[in-house]
């Protein structure tokens, strides 16, 4: 399913898009770009969560070995 929306972009952005795509492919390009951006943001968030979890586990482990 597709839905038509109206967006406003700066002229410079539209010119950049038009330089890298064939005429008539703006919607596909913008869709792929947004999908890629969201995927990258999701990966960055996951990495941050994993990092925080690793730090918490490391701190916990250090506390545990203090008793030995």
DSSP letter at 22?
-
What angle separates helix 11-20 from helix 26-65, to the nearest 10 degrees?
Answer: 100
Residues 47-65 pLDDT 10s: 999 998 898 888 888 888 8
For 1-48, the pLDDT digits (tens) are 999 999 999 999 999 999 999 888 999 999 999 999 999 999 989 999
b/e per residue 13-40 (b: at least 16 CB within 10 A): eeeeeeeeeeeeeeeeeeeeeeeeeeee
Q: Residue 58 and residue 65: Cα distance in Å, rounded? A: 11
**Mean model confidence pLDDT for the chain:** 91
Q: What is the pLDDT of residue 14?
A: 94
Gyration radius of the chain's alpha carbons: 22
């Amino acid at each position: 399913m597709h839905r038509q929306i109206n967006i406003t972009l700066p002229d410079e952005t539209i010119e950049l898009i038009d330089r890298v795509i064939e005429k008539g492919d703006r919607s596909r390009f913008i869709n792929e770009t947004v999908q890629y951006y969201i995927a990258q943001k999701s990966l960055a968030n996951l990495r941050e969560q994993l990092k925080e979890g690793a730090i918490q586990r490391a701190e916990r482990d250090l506390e545990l070995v203090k008793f030995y």
